[in-house]
């Protein structure tokens, strides 16, 4: 299930990337589909026209040097001995891409973990490489709503920001649709036991409300269904009720 608003947002993102815009920022609360959109974008790119790096930050990055090793791995380049040599090696590969009329897309998920101006400086440095042709390099950053404010406070990035896409929370109807999808999975598990499952709209609304967390989106819903429905039903089946 892909909400229409997410499909529309993805189409706008794809247009921006195809135009070679230097920097796009996607923000929203957890569970709104930001990471899904990046994977969708990554899978849809034509490798004849694009080279792409998709990286998800797992920890806070406070210094420059977090990005270059990832690019060296993408290009299959040997690790250089110094940071300056590493950057030169990456710049050389970028020149090769430009000569081949290919674009490089760097997508960074959870970019709110870039926790210091020095970490963002590495992005600015690559965008400012004079050897690159216009539209050769694009960044897409996703993160919590605060990410847009942080990027806006860094002049070098603010000047390159071409598009900011804010993804809203799931609506009540979308949450109910997510509940329906999860319930259908439960029904398939119960089918072998010849047990049917039907819930009222009120019950679905309750699950949607209880299964939504502002920090995690709708991710807790699966655990809620396990605790509220699957486990009690499994116990009744074992008891022969």
What string of pLDDT tens digits covers the 241 residues of the chain? 567 777 888 888 888 888 888 999 999 887 778 888 888 888 888 888 899 999 999 899 888 889 998 999 998 877 667 878 888 888 888 888 888 888 899 999 999 999 888 899 899 988 887 545 556 889 999 999 899 999 999 999 999 999 999 888 777 777 778 788 778 887 887 777 777 788 888 888 888 778 776 566 666 777 888 888 878 877 877 777 6
Q: What pLDDT is stored for residue 56 in this prediction?
A: 92
Q: What pLDDT is stored for residue 52 in this prediction?
A: 93
Q: What pLDDT is stored for residue 6 in this prediction?
A: 78
Q: What pLDDT is stored for residue 55 in this prediction?
A: 93
Under a CB-based contact definition with an 8 Å cutoff, are residues 36 and 6 in contact? yes
> According to DSSP H, which parts of the chain are helical?
4-18, 34-44, 68-75, 83-99, 117-127, 146-152, 155-158, 172-191, 201-210, 221-225, 231-238
- In the chain, what's the furthest Cα-to-Cα distance? 73
Q: What pLDDT is stored for residue 51 in this prediction?
A: 92
pTM here is 0.76
A 10 A CB-CB count for 121 gives 15
């Amino acid at each position: 299930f892909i909400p229409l608003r997410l499909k529309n947002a993805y189409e706008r993102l794809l247009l921006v990337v195809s135009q070679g815009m230097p920097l796009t920022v996607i923000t929203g609360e957890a569970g709104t589909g930001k990471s899904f959109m990046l994977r969708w974008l990554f899978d849809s790119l034509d490798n004849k026209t694009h080279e792409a790096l998709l990286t998800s930050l797992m920890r806070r990055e406070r210094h420059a040097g977090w990005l270059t090793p990832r690019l060296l791995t993408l290009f299959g380049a040997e690790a250089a001995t110094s940071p300056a040599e590493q950057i030169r090696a990456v710049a050389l590969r970028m020149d090769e891409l430009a000569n081949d009329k290919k674009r490089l897309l760097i997508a960074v998920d959870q970019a709110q973990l870039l926790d210091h101006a020095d970490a963002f400086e590495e992005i600015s440095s690559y965008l400012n490489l004079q050897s690159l042709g216009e539209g050769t390099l694009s960044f897409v950053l996703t993160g919590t709503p605060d990410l847009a404010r942080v990027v806006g406070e860094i002049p070098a990035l603010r000047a390159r920001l071409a598009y900011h896409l804010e993804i809203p929370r799931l609506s009540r109807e979308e949450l109910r649709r997510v509940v329906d999808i999860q319930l259908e999975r439960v029904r398939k598990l119960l089918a072998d036991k010849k047990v049917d499952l039907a819930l009222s709209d009120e019950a679905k609304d309750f699950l949607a409300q209880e299964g939504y967390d502002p920090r995690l989106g709708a991710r807790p819903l699966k655990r809620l269904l396990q605790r509220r429905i699957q486990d009690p039903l499994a116990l009744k089946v074992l008891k022969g009720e």
